């Protein structure tokens, strides 16, 4: 897990403290920036005691400055809403828990856990939605290789997230993005070859368009295998 760029993190915290003052409880960074992609925008979650329309207006006035400085719009949550939503967002919170860095205050995920039943149900929804999306997208591509390639490439990050969520369901606490992804692939007994090829597409320049299009049959079969696997999952 990489450390967050300090100038960007400090600017974010400074502006949030100016808006919320003593109502700001915690700020954590997460996402690709924490995973080592220094060129990505800084994603963050800010926990506050209260959140008003005036607070949103103040943040809106800073949005362009944040984006110019490589800072994504922070996710703002009142602390009670945050505490009560782990069952609603087990995948999203789980991904933040996997790799995050506390920029201000205490770690809001310390001593927190996600109910395995909530995680399993969310994994099933995510996997089967992905499968439906691939099938529909292929039909809409009309057999055009470039359109199929775009479908495969655009969905590669979501496929990787599916695998990390399976790893989490298996109890993995692996923080490294690639290692967690591979854990999920092994768990579902997916082919190393197709997993490597699809994951390579997370880097847009990694493969030619025609290569991505040719991957579709194996890719679809891998997601179908994930759907069968999650249907038979037992802790």
192 Cβ partners below 8 Å, 6+ apart?
185
CA distance 33 to 194: 26
The sign of the dihedral angle between the CA atoms of 74, 80, 84, 86 is positive
**Dihedral pair phi/psi, residue 75, rounded to 5°:** -80, 120
- Can you give the pLDDT at residue 8? 85
- Can you give the pLDDT at residue 34? 83
Output the 3-class SS for 37-93. CCCCCEEEEEEECCCCHHHHHHHHCCHHHHHHCCECCCEEEEHHHHHCCCCCCHHHH
Tell me the sheet residues that pair with 102: 28
Instruction: Report how far apart, in Å, the C-alpha atoms of 77 and of each of 32, 60, 98, 114, 193 are.
Output: 21, 15, 19, 18, 41
Asked if residue 98 lies in contact with residue 168, where contact means CB atoms within 8 angstroms, the answer is yes
Threshold 0.85, pTM exceeds = no
- Can you give the pLDDT at residue 40? 80
**What sections of the chain are H helices per DSSP?**
6-20, 53-60, 63-68, 79-83, 90-98, 116-141, 145-169, 177-187, 192-200, 209-214, 216-231
CA distance 148 to 200: 16
CA distance 176 to 222: 22
What parts of the chain have a pLDDT lower than 70? 1-5, 38, 203-210, 235
Closest CA to 105 of 174, 177, 26: 26
Q: How many CB atoms lie within 10 A of CB 46?
A: 26
């Amino acid at each position: 897990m990489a450390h967050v760029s300090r100038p960007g993190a400090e600017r974010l915290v400074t502006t949030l403290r100016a808006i919320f003052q003593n109502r700001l409880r915690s700020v954590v960074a997460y996402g690709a920036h924490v995973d080592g992609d220094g060129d990505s925008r800084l994603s963050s979650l800010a926990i506050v005691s209260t959140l008003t329309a005036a607070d949103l207006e103040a943040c809106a006035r800073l949005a362009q400055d944040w984006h110019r400085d490589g800072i994504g719009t922070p996710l703002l949550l009142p602390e009670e809403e945050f505490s009560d939503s782990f069952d609603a967002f087990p995948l999203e919170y789980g991904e933040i828990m996997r790799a995050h860095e506390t920029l201000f205050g205490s770690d809001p995920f310390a001593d927190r856990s996600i109910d395995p039943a909530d995680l399993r149900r969310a994994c099933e929804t995510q996997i089967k939605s992905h499968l439906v999306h691939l099938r529909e997208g292929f039909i809409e591509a009309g057999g055009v290789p470039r359109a199929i390639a775009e479908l495969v490439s655009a969905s590669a990050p979501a496929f990787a997230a599916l695998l990390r969520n399976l790893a989490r369901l298996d109890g993995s606490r692996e923080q490294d993005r690639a290692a967690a992804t591979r854990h999920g692939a092994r768990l579902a007994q997916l082919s190393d070859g197709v997993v490597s090829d699809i994951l390579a597409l997370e880097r847009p320049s990694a493969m030619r368009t025609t290569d991505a299009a040719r991957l579709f049959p194996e890719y679809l079969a891998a997601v179908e295998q994930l759907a069968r696997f999650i249907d038979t999952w037992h802790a």
